[in-house]
Amino acid sequence: MRDHTVNIDRSVSPARIDFAPVFNVAVPFIDRHLEEGRAKKIAIRADAGDVTYGELAENVNRCGNALTALGLSKGDRVLMVVKDCAEFFYAFWGAIKAGFVPAPLNTLLRARDYAYMIENSGAAAVLYSAEFTAEVAPALEQADHKPAHVHLVSGEGDTLDARIASATTDLEPAPAAASDDCFWLFSSGSTGLPKAAVHAHQDMVVTSQLYGEDVLGVGEDDICFSAAKLFFAYGLGNAMTFPLWSGGQAVLFPGRPTPNDMFDMIQRYKSTVYYGVPTLYAAQLQALEANADWDLSSVKACVSAGEPLPADILRRWKERTGLDIYDGIGTTEILHIFIANRPGDVKPGTSGRIVPGYEVEILDEDGNKVPDGETGNLRIKGGSTLKYYWNNPEKTAETIADGWVNTGDTYSRDADGYFVCHGRSDDMMKVGGIWCSPVEIEAELVAHPKVLEAAIVGRPDADDLIKPEAHIILNDPADAGDALEEELLAHVKANLAPYKYPRWFNFVEELPKTATGKIQRYKLRSG
């Protein structure tokens, strides 16, 4: 096999994937399209302007050379706090092709989160969009580790754009193996501290082929639009690796995904595959009540992940649009969806069936497989599994065993092979598709001078989607009331990512606890 190539045998299911001994994944995702005659085809569509496959390849090379010119060494981490834009593609693939490790960060976080990530990663470079300066700038000041290179993506001065413009267009791919470290994605831990999942070169090929092409059917004619941002594992596949793998098009939207903006983007760019999350689908259904004239005729597939899709939202969406929503479950650790509903095979209220190429087990507390219909801890195994958590051997050992990844999700499987989510085996919750630690919110509430103790649990809203609910003991019970709720809400929103605020406040005299003083959140959840 030629260096940096991959052979796909599609005559078998799952498709057999073989990698060349020398393999840099930027080549099949970027350079391959020039060989296959797509240089003039549009790869990226956005309000800021379209980018062809030829322009994409050229700017990836320029960016890789620009990063190399900074003096970075092989394996150096490049942290990216970058909005959904063409430069995200240039930085991500340019770093990989040049032998560096890009690490996209959640753009919704606060300065202290970024400071922790900068320190924990030992990053050599930080790239960020101007929109996030208010959080990134103080993070750089707070962090004890000082990256040698910090650049705005665009604007005035020594920006990434300026360096790309002046760099050369020829770049040889850095030698690597399919199993070598390639990129990082961060996910929140039970304490709220982010942990970096280290992924290999092969992982994006595996998810793009096994789920993107083989299950979802993404092809060269597809126009992919994702409400979920590129920094999510889900969004990274939806809006970047799936269309690049197939030779299709990616539609990018840099702003906050409001229902009307999503409908507008679908209509304007004639998207064929739309990726959302349950919370957004619920909001979009409300928007359809006000304006039922959106043209969704281009859409052939709607996909959902991040949190379980309530059956009622699927039913109402199908009634209003005529389209199914293909719900599935994926994790940062596996990179994308590994259990999925799919075209011609949808069972409401379930996550679907296993994606061919992955293995699933549901185990009881003693590590024994449970029979169909009974609940247990979901484990997954496949070719896109993270290698390890950076600088966190304890969490790595807790999560990965003999290639199996412990998801922390409680599931059952019915007699027909469909998987049903029953929540978490720990106290973590998904809010709007994003992991949220109750411990982190509790700590922020207790930091308020009027709060003595606090406990956070997940509570379903009117659409059966989980949101944080606060149970609070006050220093002075007389302070309880609407005014304090507003004060606490403002306090949390000022210090935590915006999706983490409590939707309900309950002022109580005591919290249920174990003999050792640990809060029994399950008792609060059960009422």
250-266, pLDDT tens digit by residue? Answer: 999 999 999 999 999 99
Instruction: Give the list of residues 6+ apart from residue 344 with CB closer than 8 angstroms, or none.
Output: none
Instruction: Give the list of residues 6+ apart from residue 36 with CB closer than 8 angstroms, or none.
Output: 247
Average pLDDT of every residue of the chain? 94
pLDDT beyond 70 at 190: no
Task: With respect to residue 429, please indicate whether it lies within any of the assigned structural domains.
Answer: no
Per DSSP, the three-state class of 140 is helix
Q: Could you tell me the two tokens for 462?
A: 């009117």
385: domain CATH number? Answer: 3.40.50.12780
For the segment 335-385, what is each residue's pLDDT rounded down to a tens digit?
Answer: 999 999 999 999 999 999 999 999 999 999 899 999 999 989 999 999 999
Q: Using an 8 Å Cβ cutoff, are 183 and 205 in contact?
A: no
Whether residue 352 sits in one domain with residue 457: no
Q: Could you tell me the two tokens for 197?
A: 């999942």
Residue with tokens 């039970």: 190
pTM for this prediction: 0.88
> Amino acid identity, residue 470?
A
Whether residue 102 sits in one domain with residue 79: yes
Range of the domain at 457: 436-525
For the segment 434-457, what is each residue's pLDDT rounded down to a tens digit?
Answer: 878 787 898 899 889 999 888 999
Mean pLDDT over 387-401 rounds to: 96
22: domain CATH number? Answer: 3.40.50.980
Task: With respect to residue 215, please indicate whether it lies within any of the assigned structural domains.
Answer: no
Q: Specify burial of residue 423 (Cβ count, 10 A radius: 0-12, 13-18, 19+).
A: middle
74-88, 203-217, 440-454, 508-522 — which is least confidently predicted? 508-522
Task: With respect to residue 1, please indicate whether it lies within any of the assigned structural domains.
Answer: no
The DSSP secondary structure of 17-64, one letter per residue, reads EEE-SS--THIIIIIHHHHTT-TTSEEEEETT--EEHHHHHHHHHHHH
Whether residue 143 sits in one domain with residue 94: yes
The DSSP secondary structure of 430-453, one letter per residue, reads EETTEEE-HHHHHHHHHTSTTEEE
pLDDT, position 221? 98
Whether residue 180 sits in one domain with residue 140: yes
Q: Could you tell me the two tokens for 376?
A: 């247990």
pLDDT beyond 70 at 517: no
* CA–CA dist 382, 358 (Å, integer): 5
Q: What angle do CA 230, 56, 244 make, to 5 degrees?
A: 55
pLDDT beyond 60 at 516: no
Whether residue 273 sits in one domain with residue 419: yes
Mean pLDDT over 182-206 rounds to: 89
> Amino acid identity, residue 455?
A
Q: Name the pLDDT band for 287 (thresholds 50, 70, 90).
A: very high
* CA–CA dist 379, 410 (Å, integer): 10
Task: With respect to residue 212, please indicate whether it lies within any of the assigned structural domains.
Answer: no
